[in-house]
A and B are shown apart, each in its own frame.
Chain A
Amino acid sequence: MKRFRTLLGLALAVLLLPSLALAQSVGEPGRVAGKPNPLKNVYFGEQHLHSENSPDAFAAGTRQKREDAFRYGRGDEITLSTNGQKIKRKTPYDFVALTDHAEYFGVMPKLVDPSDPLNKTALGKELSNPTVPATSPKSAVNQILGSILTSTAMPQFVKPEMLKSNWREAIKVINQYNDPGTFTTLIAFEWTSIPGGKNMHRNVFFRDDEGPAVPFSAFDSIYPQDLWTYQEIQRNMGHDNLSIPHNGNVSDGWMYSPNEFLGGPMDARYARRRMLNEPVTEIVQTKGSSDTHPVLSPNDEFADFELFPDLINIGKPSQIKYGYIRQALTDGLMLERTLGTNPFKYGIVSGADSHSGYSNNEEFDFHGSHGALEDSPKKRLDPEPNASGDMPSRLSSAGATAVWAEENTRTAIFDAMRRKETYGTSGTLIRLRFFGGWGYAKGLVGDSAFVKKAYAGGVPMGGDLPARPGGVKAPTFAIWALKDPESGNLDRIQIIKGYLGGRFDDQQEKIYDVALSDGRKADPKTGKVPPVGNTVDVEKATYTNDIGDSQLAVVWTDPDFDPTQAAVYYVRVLEIPTPRWTTYDSVKSGLPIPERIPSTIQERAWSSPIWYTPPKKK
């Protein structure tokens, strides 16, 4: 495409002249602006973010308010509290959920506010006028973080009245920024169970505008099944909700374990409650990808992506097995055989988990994730580990969540998450449609009624394939991906299939390259696809879109389908290589990128899966 782009530059001036007038009055086709779209629109947004009201964010020096998080999300300019820099998104988000930790929710800003009674507590005094260095275990910050890591509350800071009032304060601001049709905010909090560094964190989201009386914290319980009980009670009280587990990669192998947390094998009830309460999970965020690990997916040449392998704050490696989503999706098929329910039938979202009060998904405009610890290129490129447990350059820019919903409202976005019609990206705003059925025509791609026919003939991402009609051998999938107009072109679309089979009738994984840019073909002998290339100039942190395609679309039939075996399919779309945030920082500051940190990144999107379940044996 290179020659074309050059030609274009020359020809542009002439061709921009409008053609001759076509005086016509027009009867309009299509939908009316602002009405719900039954064929769904994609909305991009944030579902995981912290303000100064999270104790660890505050401790890291963040003083960004809730208002800042929403204002930045919707496209306003804000001032970074740590260094006074002004920042503004290139592409505004459609929705933002702030998920401050339920533990000491909103307490920290009050501890240093001289007009607040909490300021007079010993901790408030120590925080306002430290007598010991911040690194001492007795420092105010370490007392607070320590109590969260050990799940032992300091009683004077978790009094029910205080929590209730802090929570009300938050809901007021959240609702104030909710603007149906234009910009959605969700009432949410993070349940922060992390005993001994085993990250079991879940974010909880509410469908209604009132929300519960109080959030549920890890001080109440570190066990997910107790969180589910809270969720079920709230649901019965009219506060429909769902939770989203994240960072299986640093759960020390517990997040997607076939065992109950810290216990023995899960039973059918545990599996059912899990799916009732947590329909989607987070695949990538600043603390790394939970898609898969090269150890688990040795045949996946793109598995080595934004890994964050060590337990947060501890720095010891997290156990890989049962920590990643791809394995969980396939393990779920196996568990369903014995339990009757698949406990890992997860849809996919992504998040920031930034503790700097803004959604840092734009790779080219990254300002760190942990407040004052990462507020300059010098600090971010420091080869020494910081409080995250690893060197800050290991951290990723934020992921972004996309939902397919009828309209941009709280209920429509919540309902899309509930039915898993969502996908996650590494931060880029790729548009992705994914449908599964039993008879999509090859020519569906390119049909102007693509979406309508795709819905009519099957299910969208997050769904179950309907029963197989007689005579149909294998499912077909219709996929359409469109690049982010402010980011790199697309490299390829892949389908990742998990299934049961093989010699031992157990968990298997296979990756298919189903659409390739630039007319590339897989080698018929090896199946290998030549790489898309790389246009990144590392010295300047630039790239060109001379390689790759703007959009890729395909109708694909599974060539290896076995109707007697359960299977799960999800899509991965890869972009061409673009500079990683560390490369932008390095060019800006003239400092070297730490060793073993890649200078480029292949941004990507992961769809929610579509499942096939074989008919029960009579």
Chain B
Amino acid sequence: MPPSRRFAFVREPLVHFLVLGAAIYGLYALFGGPAEDAPDHRTIHVTAGEIAWLEGSWEKRWNRGPTPVERAGLIQEYVRESVLYREALAMGLDKDDTIVRRRLAQKLEFLSQDLLAPPAPDEEELRPWFTARAERYRAPALVTFTHVFVDPDRREDRTLADAEAIRAELQALPSPSEGSDALGDPFMLQRYYPERSQPEISKLFGTEFAREVVGLSPGQWHGPVLSGYGVHLVYVHHREDARDPEFAAVRERVAQDWDDERRQELNDEFYAQLRARYTVVVDDEPSSEDVAALEADSR
């Protein structure tokens, strides 16, 4: 059953956030708010809860609880920090401070990220999502090939005619693996390369040759194919096309990516809604055309 439009606002992230935020605030006020909320602003009350928290942090750091002396020291340090903190607030030192600004913005970001966590997706959501993005999970095409090198430094003007003749001989062989060794010119690289991707072939033969070879049809001799070295005759034994993996094999990665993407969407949405409540004026802001031109320039 589709959700009623009347309650569509219930699905808005901002609404979620405000409701949850209000709830947290309410709970906090009920069960011991911070000392500065107490009627007497000059009282610093170090509660049992705060002491337990101090002890806990100590233990995390040192792998043991504090001694009584250390415990007293922790409390005094906490009091000292509280005094300085309140005085700093009173003096307005939190205003226009880079670290405070950043820290508070971060805090809200973290809070919203936790509160806006998307629910775990079920199979029905994940499958079509995966199908639409299958390219991202695709294994590269792999080519298994044999090549015979025809050396232009050796054969000069005869290179192409020789390549033709050699190709005819290669075609006459009962199998491309038998006897092709005896044809063509010596070459430092291997003649046979099993299951290589285009980037791997590029590293060996250069980009031009690799682009050519991944497009060749299997089961026949091709050529001449050019590389930075010279001329090659190429036999593709087998071409494993780029293939989309089974959903089950990559399910975990897909779920993680789904989660990342959904989280990002929710956060963007949340920010967009907050941002919509502000009018922003930037002095001397470059237009979007200016930015595009600048980017093109730096290319």
Confirm or deny: B58 has a beta carbon within 8 angstroms of a beta carbon on chain A.
no
Closest to A35 in B: B194
A548-585, CB under 8 A of B: which get 1 and which 0?
A: 01110100000000000000000000000000000000
Q: Do A445 and B196 touch (CB < 8 A)? A: no
Q: How far is the CA of A34 from the CA of B195 in the complex (A)?
A: 9
Q: Within 8 Å of chain B (Cβ to Cβ): is A485?
A: yes
Q: Mark B184-197, 1 if CB is under 8 A from A, else 0.
A: 00111111111110
| B99 CB, min distance to chain A CBs, angstroms | 5
Contacts of B186 in A (CB 8 A): 445-448, 450, 553
Chain A interface size band reads 35 or more
Q: Which of B202, B223, B230, B298 contacts A85 (CB 8 A)?
A: B298
Interface string of B125-168 (1 = CB under 8 A from A): 00000000000000000101000000111001101100110011
A485 and B194 within 8 A (CB): no
Map CB proximity to A onto B179-214 as digits: 1 under 8 Å, 0 otherwise. 001000011111111111001001101111100000
Give CA–CA (A535, B227) in the complex, Å. 20
Q: Mark B64-102, 1 if CB is under 8 A from A, else 0.
A: 000000000000000000000000000000000011001
Determine how close the nearest CB of chain A comes to the CB of B81; give it in whole angstroms.
15
- Of A75, A114, A447, the contact of B99 (CB 8 Å cutoff): A114
How would residues 272 to 299 of chain B score, 1 for a CB under 8 Å from any chain A CB and 0 otherwise?
0000000000000000000000000011
Report chain B residues within 8 Å CB of A480.
188
Judged by a CB distance under 8 angstroms, whether A504 is at the interface is no
The listed residue with most B CB atoms (<10 A of its CB), out of A22, A33, A115, A480, is: A22
Contact A549 B228 (CB under 8 A): no
- B interface footprint on A7-49 (CB within 8 Å = 1, 0 otherwise): 1100110011011111110111111111000000000000000
Is there contact, CB below 8 Å, between B228 and A486?
yes
With A28-B237, A485-B206 in contact, do A551 and B229 touch (Cβ < 8 Å)?
Answer: yes
Rounded to whole angstroms, the CA-CA distance of A482 and B206 in the bound complex is 12
A159 in contact (CB, < 8 A): no
**Cβ-closest chain A residue relative to B223:** A15
> Is A26's CB under 8 angstroms from B175's CB?
yes
B16 within 8 A of A: no
- Complex partner residue of B153 from A32, A481, A517, CB under 8 angstroms: A517
B275 to chain A, nearest CB (A): 25
> Could you tell me the distance in whole angstroms from the C-beta of A483 to the nearest C-beta in chain B?
7
Contact of A24 with B175 in the complex, beta carbons under 8 Å = yes
Chain A residues in 8 Å Cβ range of B171:
19-20, 22
Q: Say which residue of B192, B203, B220, B222 sits within 8 Å of A30 (CB atoms).
A: B192
Find out whether the CB atom of A18 lies under 8 angstroms from the CB atom of B195.
no
State in angstroms the CA–CA spacing of A481 and B193 once bound together: 20
Partner of A483, one of B103, B156, B167, B228: B228
Choose the segment among A86-94, A100-108, A236-244 that binds chain B (4+ C-beta atoms closer than 8 Å). Answer: A86-94
Q: Which residues of B contact A29 (CB under 8 A)?
A: 177, 192
Residues on A with C-beta less than 8 A from B220 are 18-22
State how many angstroms separate the Cβ of A11 from the closest Cβ of chain B. 5
What A residues does B266 contact at CB under 8 A? Answer: none
Q: Once the chains bind, are B298 and A84 in contact (CB under 8 Å)?
A: yes
Q: Does B32 contact A (CB under 8 A)?
A: no
CB-defined contacts of B203 to chain A, threshold 8 Å: 91-92, 94
> With A18-B221, A551-B188 as given contacts, are A32 and B194 in contact (CB-CB < 8 Å)?
yes
Q: Is B118 an interface residue (CB 8 A)?
A: no
The CA-CA distance from A446 to B186 in the complex, in Å, is: 5
**B176 interface residue (CB < 8 Å to A):** yes
Interface flag for A267 (CB, 8 Å): no
Q: Is A3 an interface residue (CB 8 A)?
A: yes
Give the docked Cα–Cα distance between A32 and B219 (Å): 20
Closest chain A residue, CB of each to CB of B236: A18
B195, A33: Cβ atoms under 8 Å? yes
* Complex Cα gap A24–B221 (Å): 11
Q: List the B side residues contacting A24 at CB < 8 Å.
A: 174-176, 219
* Candidates A1, A5, A32, A448; contact of B181 at CB < 8 Å: A448
- In the complex, A90→B207 CA distance in Å? 8
Residues A482 and B189 in contact, CB atoms below 8 Å apart: yes
Interface 1/0 per residue, A521-565 and B, CB below 8 Å: 000000000000000000000000100011101000000000000
Q: Is the CB of A3 within 8 A of B157?
A: yes
Contact with B along A279-319 (1 / 0, CB 8 A): 00000000000000000000000000000000000000000
- Most A-side CB within 10 Å, residue of B153, B194, B202: B153
Chain A residues within 8 Å of B181, by CB? 448
CB B150 to nearest CB in A, in angstroms, measures 11
B194 partner, pick from A28, A85, A86, beta carbons under 8 A: A28
Known contacts A1-B152, A19-B171, A92-B199; is A86 also within 8 Å of B159 by CB?
Answer: no
Q: DSSP majority for the B interface?
A: mixed
| Bound Cα distance A26, B142 (Å) | 16
- The DSSP consensus for interface residues of chain A is loop
With contacts A28-B194, A114-B98 known, is A4 near B157, CB below 8 A?
yes
Bound: A23/B235 CA distance, A: 11
Given contacts A4-B156, A4-B159, A84-B298, contact A26 B176 (CB under 8 A): yes
Closest to A448 in B: B181
A394 within 8 A of B: no
Contacts known (A24-B175, A84-B298, A549-B153); A485 close to B205, Cβ less than 8 A:
yes
B255 within 8 A of A: no
How far is B157's CA from A1's CA once the two chains are assembled, in angstroms? 7
Q: Which residues of B contact A84 (CB under 8 A)?
A: 298
Q: Which of B102, B177, B224, B229 is within 8 Å of A485, CB to CB? A: B229
Q: How far does the alpha carbon of A483 sit from the alpha carbon of B149 in the complex, in Å?
A: 14
Q: Is A23 in contact with B219, judged by CB distance below 8 angstroms?
A: yes
The reply to whether A28 and B144 form a contact with Cβ atoms under 8 Å apart is yes
Q: Which residues of B contact A447 (CB under 8 A)?
A: 186
Nearest CB of chain B from residue A485's CB, rounded to whole Å: 3
Q: State in angstroms the CA–CA spacing of A433 and B188 once bound together.
A: 9
Min CB distance A592 to B, Å, is 23
In the assembled complex, the Cα of A445 lies from the Cα of B186 at a distance in Å of: 8
How far, in whole Å, are A28 and B177 apart by their CA atoms in the complex? 7
Beyond A3-B157, A27-B177, A28-B144, whether A550 also contacts B152 by CB under 8 A is yes
Whether the pair A83, B177 counts as a contact (CB closer than 8 A) is: no
Query: A28, B99: Cβ atoms under 8 Å?
Result: no
CB of A415 within 8 Å of the partner chain: no
Which of A1, A22, A91, A431 is within 8 Å of B156, CB to CB? A1
Q: Which residues of A contact B99 (CB under 8 A)?
A: 114-115
Q: Is B57 an interface residue (CB 8 A)?
A: no
B199 A75 Cβ-Cβ under 8 A: yes
| Residue A484 interfacial (CB < 8 Å) | yes
Contact B164 A482 (CB under 8 A): no
A486 with B224: CB separation less than 8 A: no
| Contact A91–B153 (Cβ < 8 Å) | no
Q: Give the docked Cα–Cα distance between A517 and B163 (Å).
A: 21
Is B188 touching A22 in the complex (CB atoms < 8 A)? no
- Is the pair A26, B160 in contact by a Cβ cutoff of 8 Å? no
Contact A83 B227 (CB under 8 A): no
Interface status of B226 (Cβ within 8 A of chain A): yes
Task: List the B residue with the shortest CB-CB distance to A33.
Answer: B195
Decide: A91 and B202 in contact? CB cutoff 8 A.
yes
Cα A146 to Cα B23 with chains together (Å): 57
Q: A23-B219, A114-B102 are known contacts. Are A8 and B188 too (CB-CB below 8 A)? A: no
Q: Give bound CA distance, A193 to B78, whole Å.
A: 45
Contacts of A21 in B (CB 8 A): 219-220
Asked if residues A19 and B222 are in contact (CB atoms below 8 Å), the reply is yes
CA distance A7 to B224 in the complex (A): 13
Check B217 for interface membership: any CB of A closer than 8 A. yes
A-B contact pairs, 24 of them (CB 8 A): A4-B152, A8-B231, A15-B160, A16-B225, A19-B221, A19-B223, A22-B219, A22-B221, A24-B174, A24-B176, A26-B177, A28-B237, A31-B194, A33-B193, A33-B196, A91-B202, A94-B203, A433-B188, A448-B186, A482-B189, A482-B229, A487-B228, A517-B153, A518-B153
Q: Besides A32-B194, A114-B102, A550-B228, 5 other CB < 8 A contacts?
A: A22-B220, A29-B177, A92-B199, A431-B189, A550-B229
Nearest 6 CB-CB pairings of A with B: A485-B228, A485-B206, A33-B195, A30-B192, A446-B186, A482-B188
